[in-house]
Amino acid sequence: MLQFIIQGRGGQGAQMAGDILANVFFREGKYVQAYATYGGARRGTAVSSFIRVDDQPIRLRCNIEDPDVIVCFDPSLLNDVLLKGATEDTLVLINSAQPPEYFTGLGKFRVVTIDAMAIAQENKLGRIVNTTLVGAVAGLLGRPTLQVLCEVVSDMSPVKVDQNVKSCEDGYKLTRKEGVK
């Protein structure tokens, strides 16, 4: 089973990122469980999206305590609560212009950073980084496929469809080149 925690702030698109990933894995024939939690119902408060993906039906009905992947939209959200179940095998993808070494004090995780904000702005998306980050996750994991991911991004983007698809492709290609060791 593959388990994701996506953490962002209201208005950054963390819930949409979770919805996109869940839909992509479902289209690829996987069993998916997805849910979200919100802080206060206003822009800027913490938003978390949780996803489980497996080849078998998912019977768990509890919080994700040992994530395989943590996607953090805002480095200010990196704290002990978010990282408590992470192990040295956990991939922690952080939206940051800083290099991974900047975050060495967090613990012994596989930290990858991507300046998703710069990619989103290049693609005329402003501060909305969700499609860049889902592309980056797929590139790092080598799944889901870029083709299905772009189809889902295209289907689910309420506006700026071409820009969202391009941003997703850019995130994928950038992290695919780097890969995860």
Which of these CATH numbers, 3.40.140.10, 3.30.470.10, 3.30.590.10, 3.40.920.10, describes 2-178?
3.40.920.10
Q: What is the pLDDT of residue 35?
A: 93
Note the pLDDT tens digit of each residue in 5-45: 999 988 888 999 999 999 999 999 999 999 988 766 567 77
Q: Which of 180, 120, 169 is nearest to 147 (CA)?
A: 169
Number of C-alpha atoms within 13 angstroms, CB side, residue 154?
A: 10
Q: Where are the domains of the chain?
A: 2-178
Note the pLDDT tens digit of each residue in 116-153: 999 999 999 998 999 999 999 999 999 999 999 999 99
Backbone phi, psi, residue 31, to 5°: -85, 135
